[in-house]
Structure 1
């Protein structure tokens, strides 16, 4: 079993980050390099507890399908998905969110086991663990950029509204 731990600090509120991490459409944008598409189960919007999603993508030169299910969720603090069908022998991804001041710390704990016994373990050590880490980092970067741009946009709109209200004598 291999485990990847990642912490991403995001300048945004916990609810926004939590929702972006569950957003099927945003996930598809983050995986454009592999052409990942949701093809069954929840195929757009925010995935919820008990729901499944089946993905189709090209990883390592092979088109694959992969089905996951959300097995636990406590909004906006965590959710966990597990693989039901796919190329791994097993896979569990915990998404944990903590508010710290004006930032949210998003933690990924991604556990997986490669198939094919000792050959799978060797492949995992040489290549797959780094491949999966890079995959998660790219996804997290898009979540971070989207959340922080949304935060800036909200602040700008608040400032514009305040100026407008002052100019119209509403303040």
Structure 2
């Protein structure tokens, strides 16, 4: 099992960051490089516990489909999704949110395993882990930018 751990500090309210992290429309904007689209299940708005979403995207030159399900959610502190169908042998993504000094720390724990035994393990180690980390960082960058810009606008109007 390969694990990616990321912490993203965001100067915004935990509720706002939590909602942006489960916003299907924002996710699609953050993945424009792979043309990721929600095609089944929840395809717009905020995904909730026990809902699924099926994504279609082009990764590594190959059209792929991935179906995930939110298996747990505690607003606004965490939610977890797992892969039901897709290219991975298994995938689990924990999204954790902590309030700290008026800001939010968004934590991603992304665990995955590739098929094909030892060949998949080599592919993970030498390529896929970095590819997935960059993919998550791009998503987190847009969440941070959106949350902080909305938060600053709110502060100016107060």
Q: Distance in 2 between matches of 1:14 and 1:107?
A: 12
Q: CA RMSD in A?
A: 0.4
Q: Structure 1 regions of 5+ residues with no counterpart?
A: 159-171
- After superposition, residues 113-124 of structure 1 pair within 5 angstroms as 113-124=113-124
Matched residue, 2:150: 150
TM-score by length of 1: 0.92
Indicate the SS of the match to 2:16.
helix
Choose 1 or 2 for highest CA Rg: 1
Cα distance, 1:101 vs. partner?
A: 1.1
Cα distance, 1:93 vs. partner?
A: 0.1
Q: Structure 2 regions of 5+ residues with no counterpart?
A: none
Matched residue, 2:31: 31
Matched residue, 1:91: 91
Deviations 1:25-68 (A, max 9, x none): 00000000000000000000000000000000000000000000
Deviations 1:67-117 (A, max 9, x none): 000000000000000000000000000000000011100000000000111
Structure 1: which 4+ aligned runs deviate by more than 2 Å?
none
- Is 2:32 aligned against 1:70? no
